[in-house]
Structure 1
Amino acid sequence: MKRCLVWKWILLIIFEVVNLSMQIEYQFELEDESIYTNCSNVQPGTLNINGLFDMTHLSTIMKPEGIELSGNMTSVFNAQPSDRIEVTGNLFYFDRGTWQPTTLNMAIKDFCKVMYDEKQLWYKEWAARVTNKDVIKDNCIKEHGTVFLMETYTIKLRFGSSMPLVSGRYTLRIRVFAIDQSGKKRPNDVCYEVKGTFFKI
């Protein structure tokens, strides 16, 4: 029995190493200095990024090496501390004048549980850059008025995939929902997109 368990662990490690070695590294070059754009064809009442954060004091400047971000953002999301925050992400590829869906999608049922998880895609280029995270980490994005102080840095988005991507223009559509304790979705959920071009490294 012990030998069988050992072999299972060995096989799992081998599969993980093979999976990592097969991954292709891509860089995502943002096309808009403001980073975020509005979603099209959304339900009435859906808000853009400004329904999630007040970014009056957030600065984004296009530089030769990328977009430099600094300042702070304040949570204004329509949620309560007891709510569960659900986030979905869908990657679309621009082909012949229209946005085509890809197979790269994600659904996070409880975002606040993994917001500062170092293994998550957004950690390195967002959550890790929040300089006051030790003070506000329990607030997540549910506490209205929570200020996220951001260090000054140049955004460098990299993405590893075991599935080859066609180089070209893409948009990542993010949707954010607040779910109350009864399981009902609150109104004024948020949808925004981040457009750019993927380059194979």
Structure 2
Amino acid sequence: MKQWIGWIVGLLCILLVLKGSWSTTYEVIGDEKTLDIVCTAAEDKGNIPISKILDITNLTFDMAADMETLYFNGNIKVLMDVPSGPIAMEVDIFRWERNSWTPTQLALKRNDLCQSLTSPRELWYPIFRNIPKEELICPPNKGHIYTLKNVSNHEFVRNVPSADIAGDLKALVHLTTGNIKTCAVLFFKVYITKH
């Protein structure tokens, strides 16, 4: 019996240590360069440029008094029919170090992006929760419009594992559905605000 109590106490200690490693809060600030989502030729593994699929030229941003927070407003228009079926997504994260983008070990993969768009557990939930539900059609058809109203580039991601990801980052996003492959790039800064 004493051995079992020892094991239980040991397990509780391990769980407390692990819980502490999950209590990090990150401050994430999207860069104003995010409106230029086009990948370079070297980054792009696609067969259709994102600019032929999405028109974001009607998006504007207003800067808050803190000179970091931006509020995006306007419409994103779909320029072509997207095949029905799952949209696969792969994201690779790079950090700006010594004047070049260095790969990190951080990556994200979703076999069905549409299914995950409205999940509160996803990193992009703060963006998509602000789009009217009747507009959250995925996959979209040609002419569909997503409306952004005061969508902030400034979010806090709480209670996640501690990782060395602070700094200037770039997310290279590859999307695939049917015979369409495209690429988009997003720039942001990450600060660790709490352990």
Q: TM-score, normalised by structure 2?
A: 0.76
Residue correspondence of structure 1 range 160-175 to structure 2 within 5 A: 160=158, 161-175=160-174
CA distance in 2, matches of 1:147, 1:166: 34
1:66 to 69, 88, 106: 69
Q: Which residue identity is paired with 1:141?
A: P
Count of equivalent residues:
176
Asked whether the 8 Å contact 1:87–1:176 carries over to 2, the reply is yes
Residue correspondence of structure 1 range 62-101 to structure 2 within 5 A: 62-63=63-64, 64-77=67-80, 79-81=82-84, 83-101=85-103
Deviation at 1:78, TM superposition (A): 5.0
SS of 1:84's equivalent? coil
1:120 to 119, 122, 125: 122
SS of 1:112's equivalent? helix
Query: Relative to structure 1, is the Cα distance of residues 195 and 116 closer, same or farther in structure 2, using a 3 angstrom cutoff?
Result: same
- Which piece of structure 1 moves more, 58-67 or 17-26? 17-26
- Which piece of structure 1 moves more, 30-39 or 69-78? 30-39
Q: Which residue identity is paired with 1:128?
A: R
CA distance in 1, matches of 2:23, 2:53: 33
Deviation at 1:101, TM superposition (A): 1.3
Root mean square deviation, CA, Å = 2.7
Deviation at 1:140, TM superposition (A): 0.8
Deviation at 1:164, TM superposition (A): 2.4
SS of 2:47's equivalent? coil
Deviation at 1:79, TM superposition (A): 1.9
- Higher gyration radius (CA): 2
Q: Which residue of 2 aligns with 1:136?
A: 135
Asked whether the 8 Å contact 2:172–2:183 carries over to 1, the reply is yes
Q: Which residue of 2 aligns with 1:57?
A: 58
Q: Deviations over 1:147-183 (max 9, x none)?
A: 112222432133354232253211111111113xxxx
Q: TM-score, normalised by structure 1?
A: 0.74
CA distance in 2, matches of 1:114, 1:34: 21
1:149 to 138, 147, 160: 147
Asked whether the 8 Å contact 1:92–1:100 carries over to 2, the reply is yes
SS of 2:57's equivalent? coil
SS of 1:164's equivalent? coil
CA distance in 1, matches of 2:131, 2:138: 12
Q: Which residue of 2 aligns with 1:106?
A: 108
CA distance in 2, matches of 1:154, 1:16: 34
Q: Which residue of 1 aligns with 2:189?
A: 197
Deviation at 1:86, TM superposition (A): 0.7
SS of 1:129's equivalent? coil
SS of 1:163's equivalent? coil
Q: Which residue identity is paired with 1:55?
A: I
Deviation at 1:17, TM superposition (A): 9.7
| Structure 2 spans left out of the alignment, 5+ residues | 1-10
